[in-house]
Chain A
Amino acid sequence: MAIKVKFFASLREQLPAADSQVDADGVATIEDVWQRATANALIPAHVLCSVNLEHRELHAPVSDGDEVAFFPPVTGG
């Protein structure tokens, strides 16, 4: 029972100890995933997140087997 977690760009560098997988038990939302993966690190003001490659808000629900990602504002092009 696990949720895969990814961090990108500056977030990955700021949270080098963050887990790449968390136990899904007791985890209901993306925010819960953040707290568990980062040992309750402060959530950056402009953090963006996704579930299974779709943009979602922090309060969005998650399920066992999901892939959750956290990243800063995008700067491509």
Chain B
Amino acid sequence: MGVQLHSEPFDPGVELARFEATLPVGSVGATASFTGTMRNHNEGDQVCAMTLEHYPGMTEKQLEEVVQDARQQWDIIDALIVHRVGDILPGQPIVLTAVCSAHRAAAFDACRFLMEALKSRATFWKKETLLNGETRWVEKNTPGH
């Protein structure tokens, strides 16, 4: 299923259902998914909006490579990464990762891998707008483990 960048809000449930509908009926024994959502706070400050910048061409290529790496490490049937770009509001989904496999271990582990790998490798940058109107670039991601 691969990689999608959305410049408008997306519904993780709809995207997950679309993903699952593409898979061979009866082959899937496990589906794991993760949704990352924008918080209204960060580093002790209230955040009221965020802009996600990316490097068109490179970002998609990196996400495709992350999916290929997962395919090489686990016996999975298919994987999906959906990521927002542009202007985002608190409560809106930022990212969806999903993996289908015959058994749950591969689905869980590969889904976690997709998320951690994209956070450390893919060229996205977050700029927050605080409640007082100030803007600031997020300098680092929070640890995932």
Q: Do A and B come from one complex?
A: yes
Report the nearest A residue to B97, measured CB to CB.
Answer: A77
Q: Interface of chain A, helix or strand or loop or mixed?
A: loop
In the complex the two chains form, is B57's CB within 8 Å of A75's CB? no
Question: Is A36 among interface residues, defined by CB-CB distance under 8 A?
Answer: no
Q: Considering the chains assembled together, what is the distance between the CA atoms of A69 and B57 in angstroms?
A: 12
Produce 1/0 per residue, A10-36, CB < 8 A to B: 100000000000000000000000000
Question: Is B52 among interface residues, defined by CB-CB distance under 8 A?
Answer: yes
Within 8 A of A (CB), among B17-31: none
Q: Considering the chains assembled together, what is the distance between the CA atoms of A69 and B2 in angstroms?
A: 25
Q: Considering the chains assembled together, what is the distance between the CA atoms of A74 and B78 in angstroms?
A: 26
Chain B residue contacts of A8, Cβ below 8 A: 53, 55, 123, 125
Distance (Å) between the CB of A32 and the closest chain B CB? 21
Distance (Å) between the CB of A12 and the closest chain B CB? 9
From B53, B55, B123, residue with most partner A Cβ within 10 Å: B123
Q: Considering the chains assembled together, what is the distance between the CA atoms of A73 and B125 in angstroms?
A: 8
Report the nearest B residue to A9, measured CB to CB.
Answer: B125
In the complex the two chains form, is B55's CB within 8 Å of A71's CB? yes
Question: Is B132 among interface residues, defined by CB-CB distance under 8 A?
Answer: no
Produce 1/0 per residue, B34-76, CB < 8 A to A: 0010000000000000001111011001000000000000000
Interface residues of A, CB < 8 Å — how many?
14
From A8, A69, A71, A75, residue with most partner B Cβ within 10 Å: A75
- The answer, among B58, B115, B139, B141, for a CB contact under 8 Å with A50, is B58
Q: A69-B58, A77-B119 are in contact. List 15 more A-B contacts (CB 8 A).
A: A8-B125, A9-B125, A9-B137, A50-B55, A53-B58, A72-B125, A73-B140, A74-B121, A75-B138, A76-B52, A76-B54, A76-B83, A76-B119, A76-B122, A76-B126
| B binding-site residues for A, Cβ under 8 Å | 36, 52-55, 57-58, 61, 83, 94-95, 115, 118-127, 137-141
| A binding-site residues for B, Cβ under 8 Å | 6, 8-10, 50, 53, 69, 71-77
Q: List 10 A-B contacts (CB under 8 A).
A: A6-B55, A9-B53, A10-B125, A69-B55, A69-B58, A74-B121, A74-B122, A76-B122, A77-B119, A77-B122
